[in-house]
Structure 1
Amino acid sequence: MSAAYVVRVAEADADREACFAVRREVFVGEQGVPEDLEYDAYDAGAVHLVAVREDGVALGTGRLLTGDAAAAKNGGAADVGALGRLAVAKAARGLGVGAALVRAIEEAARERGLVAVDLHAQTHALGFYERLGYVVYGPEFPDAGIPHRAMRKPLG
């Protein structure tokens, strides 16, 4: 597989559909998350990003929540965004797609005047996020039956 891809905000309907397809593949298909938990009310107002190969195949996705939606996820901080639903298709893992999506989400947060980004990481992914500058806080908790930890990164 070619490693050439771009990460962009999913503004077109086809891009948003690609985001949801990657999430369905990874979270519903691979991890067994019930579909009614995977898609939520936050999707409508989120900034969705998609990583797309040169031939148009979607490789990964993630979303940024801002405002009240982010505050509901991060304990009430209005100036902190919430990164979520980061997923990379199995065939694209190891190409740097996940890190590129995180960086793009952080840039989208900066553009919106946010000072930090929070996320809820599956515990097996803690090292990935730590390498990108995120720090764990708070206790472990279950989400869709999967252990998670809260993490935050200031956007200095």
Structure 2
Amino acid sequence: MKFHLTVDNWAVQKADARAVRFDVFVIEQNIPVELEWDDMDEHCLHAVAHDESGYAVGTGRLLPDGHIGRMAVRAAGRGQGIGAAILQALMAQARQRGDREVVLNAQTQAEAFYGRHGFVRDGEEYYEAGIAHVCMRHVFA
């Protein structure tokens, strides 16, 4: 699948980012909708990937404190490099603005994915919204 990635503020990315996150987190993973939305979105940079027809297939966000979160790729887009492209774009934004590291809370089933991008587990497994997670960090060289 060919895709195009953009990184912008919440005002620009809101509709597509929300749609992807709703499908992946609320519908697919059964996360309560009230846990998905917070007041940080408008303070973040958001990456959104669109397929050739303009359909949003993936998203992620970079918080002001260097956390990467809300990484999601719709089922049809998985395994095609979309998540990796989103992660790399957010990491590049963090590095460009001077962050020394990026941190994320990975679902344990995605730990190996983040490990391939230089993230290392930091701490014990814990549960959030009923899903096992681990904190992971990547320090820029």
Same fold flag (TM > 0.5): yes
TM-score, normalised via structure 2 length:
0.95
Is 1:6 aligned to residue 8 of structure 2?
no
Select which of 16, 24, 35 maps to 1:37. Answer: 35
Contact kept in structure 1, 2:3 and 2:52, CA below 8 Å = yes
Identical columns (%): 44
Tell me the equivalent position of 1:149: 134
After superposition, the Cα gap between the structure-2 partners of 1:12 and 1:123, relative to the gap in structure 1 and judged at 3 Å, is: closer
Taking only aligned residues, the RMSD between alpha carbons, in angstroms, comes to 1.3
Q: Which residue of 2 aligns with 1:91?
A: 76
Q: CA deviation at 1:131?
A: 0.9
Q: Which residue of 2 aligns with 1:107?
A: 92
Residue ranges of structure 2 left out of the alignment (5+ in a row): none
Structure 1: distance between partners of 2:99 and 2:41:
19
- For residues 5-49 of structure 1, the C-alpha deviation after alignment (integer angstroms, 9 at most, x for no partner) is 111113474632101100000000000001110011111211111
Q: Which runs of 4+ in 1 moved over 6 A?
A: none
Aligned length: 141
Structure 1 residue ranges without an equivalent (≥5): 71-80
8 A contact 2:10–2:41 mirrored in 1: no
Q: What amino acid sits opposite 1:146 in the alignment?
A: I
CA distance in structure 2 between the aligned counterparts of 1:83 and 1:25, rounded to whole angstroms: 19
Please give the TM-score of this superposition, normalised by the length of structure 1.
Answer: 0.86
Alignment partner for residue 58 of structure 1, among 56, 59, 64?
56
After superposition, what is the alpha-carbon deviation per residue over 1:121-151, rounded to whole angstroms, capped at 9, x for unaligned? 0011111111111000111111111110000
